[in-house]
Amino acid sequence: MRKRIHSEFIGVAAVAILATLLLSVWVFYDLFQFQVLDDLKTYVNVVKDTINEEDLIREDQLYEDADIRFTLIREDGSVVYDSLADSDVMENHLGRPEIEEALEKGSGQAIRKSETLDKNTYYYALKLDDGDILRVAKEADSIWSILGTALPVIGVIALLIFGICVILARVLTKSLLYPIEKMAGDMENILEIKTYPELMPFITMIHSQHQDIMKNAKMRQEFTANVSHELKTPLTSISGYSELIETGMASDEDVRRFAGEIHKNSSRLLTLINDIIRLSQLDVEDQDISYTELNLYQLAEACVDMLQINAEKHDVILRLEGGPCTIYANRQMIDELIYNLCDNAIRYNNPGGSVIVRVGSEKEEGVLSVWDTGIGIPKVYQKRIFERFYRVDKSRSKSTGGTGLGLAIVKHIVSQHHARLELESEEGIGTKITVYFPKKSKQA
Ligand code: ATP
Ligand code: MG
């Protein structure tokens, strides 16, 4: 790219230099011709008044040395006098263009090639008062001879300009490519690079894409690290307990207890893996999700029924309120969403507390809210609880079997359905999570 731009610059410069020089020679030659003819004209005008025919013939000698040639021609074309040749043997001059023109207009001029290529002969003819024609001629350099003389100088100048152009092209190419090269080298600070405005949209786009890529990479890295960590803890327990049983040193009662621990930890592993699989399924975009019309109230009812025993275990009252509401959604996902919200509301509750699930219908939206009188979420953590593996109180969450993926899944489902979620929570008082679903399909 750099090489190409550079050589193109130089190519354009070379053509420009050559064209300019040739054109100036041509213009100069035009001026030169004009000047020569003008000189001849002046000459004739001076001479015609001072010299008469007899003097001319008599004082032949006068003009012999000068490189100017005089010819006196009668109206009929016969040559009376010529300062260079013998007028007696000279042919009739009527056919010469400058004479023809002079007879017609009073004066005429012509340029003719000389015998040698590098000379031209310039003629100027003037009609005198007595009808004769006085003609002067002079040899001067032709364009080829001028070009030949000027060529070395032209060459030097051209080379000089060309050299300057090469240097300028290099500087220009460099400054042209500088921002682009800098961009490629330093993606992080791409916005700070000073560049031409035409590049700005391109830079902004690359910048945001780069940031997305980096963010994704970081998230993936964190996720992998978290997954490994989460898997390691229960596996370590399982491995430890089974080793104790293997050595045969544990009493029957211990074996039973250890088996219980192994069971608990492997169940935890299973839920964890299930959640991870679920998340990665949700992560795969462009998957075919089937949307149908669902009665949100019915789904919530089924979920509340299913979790009733669980609530009793936690000494929590679980209640459903509201009425029918139809939304356009994916059934499995909505089931998951309601389950996760209710599960949390029971799990992070206090004995004797309560959970109210409410389904309602607003103009454009179906509304589901899960409200509990539980431990609440401190303000500082409220944003973070939707992150994967994030748990406010790790020990409490773990003792209740939480992996920190439930709300991440909820968030995902909410965005898949173009729904929106509101969280209100106060530490020690309770939490209310409300999801607003659009009633009409926005997916199509
Ligand atoms: P999982 O749902 O995957 O089994 P989890 O319940 O720990 O595990 P999330 O549902 O994502 O994970 O919740 C993240 C954290 O947010 C919980 O660990 C808990 O600290 C807090 N949290 C969620 N819901 C509530 C709630 N209703 N009241 C208080 N804290 C909550
Ligand atoms: Mg949960």
- Each residue's pLDDT tens digit, 251-293: 889 999 999 999 999 998 998 898 888 888 877 765 678 899 9
- The 3-state DSSP class for residue 438 equals strand
397 lines ligand 1 (CB under 6 A): yes
Task: Pick the ligand that lies closest to the CA of residue 377.
Answer: 1
369 lines ligand 1 (CB under 6 A): no
Ion ligand 2 neighbours, Cβ < 5 Å? 344, 406
Nearest-angstrom CA–CA distance, 41 and 123: 9
Among 205, 207, 177, smallest CA distance to 192 is for: 207
| Spans of the chain, pLDDT less than 50 | 443-444
Nearest-angstrom CA–CA distance, 182 and 256: 67
Nearest-angstrom CA–CA distance, 158 and 18: 7
Dihedral sign of CA atoms 333, 335, 340, 345 in order = positive
Pocket mutation for ligand 1, best pick of 275, 314, 391 (most atoms within 8 Å of C-beta): 391
**Helices 331-347 and 296-313: crossing angle, nearest 10°?**
30
Write out pLDDT tens, residues 339-351: 999 999 999 999 9
Nearest-angstrom CA–CA distance, 134 and 125: 6
Among 212, 162, 159, 206, smallest CA distance to 180 is for: 206
Q: What is the pLDDT of residue 143?
A: 78
- Neighbouring residues of 293: CB distance < 8 A, sequence distance ≥ 6: 326, 327, 328
Is there a contact between 101 and 108 (Cβ–Cβ < 8 Å)? yes
431 lines ligand 1 (CB under 6 A): yes
Nearest-angstrom CA–CA distance, 272 and 265: 10
Per residue, the 3-state secondary structure of 60-99, as one string, reads CHHHHCCCEEEEEECCCCCEEEECCCCHHHCCCCCCCHHH
Q: How far is the CA of 347 from the centre of ligand 1 (A)?
A: 8
Pocket mutation for ligand 1, best pick of 275, 318, 339, 344 (most atoms within 8 Å of C-beta): 344
Among 383, 380, 375, smallest CA distance to 400 is for: 375
User: Other CB atoms closer than 10 Å to residue 395's CB: what's the count?
Assistant: 8
404 lines ligand 1 (CB under 6 A): yes
391 lines ligand 1 (CB under 6 A): yes
Torsion angle of the four alpha carbons 325, 331, 336, 338, in this order, in degrees rounded to the nearest 10: 10
Q: How far is the CA of 385 from the centre of ligand 1 (A)?
A: 7
- The 3-state DSSP class for residue 288 equals coil
Q: What is the pLDDT of residue 443?
A: 47
Joined together, the tokens standing for residue 315 give 């000494």
Radius of gyration of the chain (CA): 52
What are residue 290's phi and psi, to 5 degrees?
-90, 125
Ligand 1 atom 16: residue of nearest CA: 385
Ligand 1 atom 4: residue of nearest CA: 402
Residue indicated by tokens 């995902």: 412
374 lines ligand 1 (CB under 6 A): yes
What is the H or E stretch that residue 366 is in? strand 365-372
Q: pTM higher than 0.85 for the full model? A: no
